[in-house]
Structure 1
Amino acid sequence: MKKIVFEQEIKASAETVWNKMWDKKSYTYWTTPFCAGTYFTGEIELGGRIHFIAPSFDGMYSDVFYLIPNKLIIFKHIGNLKDLKELPLDAEAERWTGSFETYKLNEVDGITTVTAEIDCVPEYINYMNEKFPLALQELKKISE
Structure 2
Amino acid sequence: MKKLTYSIKINKPQDFVFRKIKDKSVYPGWAKAWGEGMSYEGEWKEGGYISFFDKTQGGTKVIIEEIVPNETIKTKHVAMVNPQNIEVELTDDMMRKWIGSQEIYHFKRESDTKTNLEVVMITDEAFEEMMGAWPKALQLFKEICEA
Q: Deviation above 4 Å: which 4+ runs of structure 1? A: none
Alpha-carbon displacement from aligned partner over 1:46-72 (angstroms, at most 9, x marks no partner): 001111111315111110011112210
Q: Which amino acid aligns with 1:138?
A: L
In the alignment, which residue of structure 1 is the partner of 2:97? 95
Alignment map for 1:121-136 (pairs within 5 Å): 121-129=124-132, 131-136=133-138
In the alignment, which residue of structure 1 is the partner of 2:63? 63
- How far residue 90 of structure 1 moved from its aligned partner, in angstroms, is 4.2
Question: Contact conserved, 1:21 with 1:30, CA < 8 A, in 2?
Answer: no
Gaps of 5+ in 2: none
Distance 2:98 2:48 in 1: 19
Gaps of 5+ in 1: none
In the alignment, which residue of structure 2 is the partner of 1:39? 39
Question: Contact conserved, 1:14 with 1:106, CA < 8 A, in 2?
Answer: yes
In the alignment, which residue of structure 2 is the partner of 1:84? 85
Distance 2:86 2:140 in 1: 29
Question: Contact conserved, 2:101 with 2:124, CA < 8 A, in 1?
Answer: no
Identity of aligned residues (%): 27
Indicate the SS of the match to 1:44: coil
Equivalenced residues, count: 143
TM-score normalized with structure 1 length: 0.92
- The question of 1:104 aligning with 2:106 is answered yes
Alpha-carbon displacement from aligned partner over 1:57-94 (angstroms, at most 9, x marks no partner): 51111100111122100111011111321123445332
In the alignment, which residue of structure 2 is the partner of 1:113? 116
TM-score normalized with structure 2 length: 0.90
